[in-house]
């Protein structure tokens, strides 16, 4: 399993890897199938064609292959068709049509949930995947640490979920990196994964799109505050024509030089060490 995938995606991958069993249990509960009818479905050729497709989805999600999303969509169509057949031919439910509608709702919910997480960042890399979150243009120096080495780069786009790093260094897709940078007085170290690469072009300079790992509580708090402050800068840039050059430059300088002070507040709020504690002895 790729290290950067979420718990939900990992769980989904393993459920699909066990598709021959998990789907039949799901169908038996939803459509109130008897053991005899469940066995008939299990030993049918069409069911195993569907099961093989489901196992392929699980493998694709586990390894984060580019074809996984498309196979998942195909499998979802087959599942919807199979659910309809089960509702008509095998269901012992008092209301098989309602059970079928519930199955479709669950399937659509799964597609939406997975689509938000993997469809754009992993399988449609030409789309700037952090557009699903508000993202902002900026120019911030960044120190990128990779296995056994490191280099300096520049963050040009950022959101709470990832960033675009301009760099002449060649990074490989799915490579793990650690990004060290500072935004509005807050120093951040965030792990991430290279999800796509860009050669020098009109739309993007040479660099990489990075998906951040799941943020811890403090990182998320800082990044939310950063996004809020960048939103203010973006709003000021939009209203530039309504301000005099002096007012605009003054307000912009104030916003860009602003320090969030989140880490400092956290340090100030820490309780004093008790007498005899390790921290007191260390000092």
Q: What is the pLDDT of residues 1-32, one digit of tens each?
A: 454 456 788 899 999 999 999 999 999 999 99
Q: List pLDDT tens digits, range 85-112.
A: 999 999 988 899 999 999 999 999 999 8
Closest CA to 50 of 91, 94, 86: 86
Please check whether residues 40 and 55 belong to one and the same domain: yes
Please check whether residues 17 and 111 belong to one and the same domain: yes
Please check whether residues 138 and 247 belong to one and the same domain: yes
Please check whether residues 30 and 67 belong to one and the same domain: yes
Please check whether residues 136 and 233 belong to one and the same domain: yes
- Among candidate residues 96, 123, 150, the one where a domain is terminated: 123
- Among candidate residues 123, 154, 189, the one where a domain is terminated: 123
Domain contains 17: yes
Domain contains 276: no
The answer to whether 16 and 55 are in contact (CB under 8 A) is yes
- Among candidate residues 123, 142, 173, the one where a domain is terminated: 123
The answer to whether 218 and 193 are in contact (CB under 8 A) is no
This prediction has a pTM of 0.51
Range of the domain at 246: 128-268
Please check whether residues 167 and 221 belong to one and the same domain: yes
Tally of domains in the chain: 2
**CA–CA separation, 83 and 67 (whole Å):** 24
Domain contains 275: no
pLDDT at position 5: 57
């Amino acid at each position: 399993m790729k290290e950067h995938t979420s718990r939900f995606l990992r769980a989904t991958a393993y459920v699909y890897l066990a598709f021959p069993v998990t789907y039949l249990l799901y169908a038996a509960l939803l459509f109130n199938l008897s053991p005899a009818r469940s066995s008939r479905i299990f030993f049918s050729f069409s069911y195993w064609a569907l099961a093989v497709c489901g196992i392929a989805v699980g493998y694709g999600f586990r390894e984060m292959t580019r074809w996984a999303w498309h196979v998942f969509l195909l499998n979802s169509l087959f599942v919807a068709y199979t659910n309809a057949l089960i509702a008509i031919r095998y269901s012992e439910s008092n209301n098989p049509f309602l059970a079928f509608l519930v199955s479709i709702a669950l399937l659509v919910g799964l597609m939406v949930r997975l689509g938000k997480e993997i469809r754009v960042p992993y399988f449609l890399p030409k789309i700037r995947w952090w557009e699903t979150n508000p993202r902002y243009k900026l120019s911030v120096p960044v120190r990128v640490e990779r296995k056994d080495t490191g280099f300096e780069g520049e963050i040009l786009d950022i959101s709470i979920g990832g960033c675009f790093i301009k760099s002449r260094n060649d990074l490989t897709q799915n490579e793990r990196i650690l990004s060290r940078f500072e935004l509005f007085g807050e120093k951040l170290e965030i792990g991430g994964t290279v999800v796509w690469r860009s050669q020098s072009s009109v739309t993007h300079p040479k660099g990489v799109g990075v998906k951040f790992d799941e943020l811890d509580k403090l990182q998320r708090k800082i990044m939310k505050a950063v996004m809020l402050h960048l939103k203010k800068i973006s709003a000021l840039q939009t209203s530039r024509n309504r301000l005099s050059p002096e007012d605009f430059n003054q307000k912009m300088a104030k916003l860009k030089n602003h320090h969030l002070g989140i880490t400092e507040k956290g340090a100030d709020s820490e309780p004093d060490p008790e007498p005899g504690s390790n921290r007191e002895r260390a000092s």
